[in-house]
A and B are shown apart, each in its own frame.
Chain A
């Protein structure tokens, strides 16, 4: 099956041309396909079969260069400004988050000295008077 497909692709007429090997003077070996020129020809014909050589049916005058409208320019500038501001903000946030990544997450994680945390967990202090008074408030 593969052989048939190969034949069909390389040689539409069915006539096969042999490959041969050329030994060069410097000792190198070069394999040459006798079909090479057919292949090149076919690709060239395919490439040129498009609009390149076909005469155009209707003549189109070359477009005049587009004059940018002031309004759309302003709009583009505003969008660019927004993008630049957003990028600047992003870089600041990134810088800050890099600085504190191992310490404090501003909205979530808090770091407490391990000894203090141990004390608070295992031996929590009794509420002092100020706290007791506050807890009694309604």
Chain B
């Protein structure tokens, strides 16, 4: 949703593509998350239309949602760096 509004199936496709097929969101998981993010004001409905008898509802990130995303990205990046440092640390006694 950073690049632009997406509908439900579009979100699952994006998640699958970005995770190289590792993460596959079920409808229950996706809509539980969307429901919480709508309540928290991180996501909003940007538009609705009926396509082939189906409701096509698009979601987009709000300004607050982008701020939370950026902060969470920074936090995770710090954790990842710490894990890398630990992983590349010489083994105990290796320098002796």
A and B associate: no
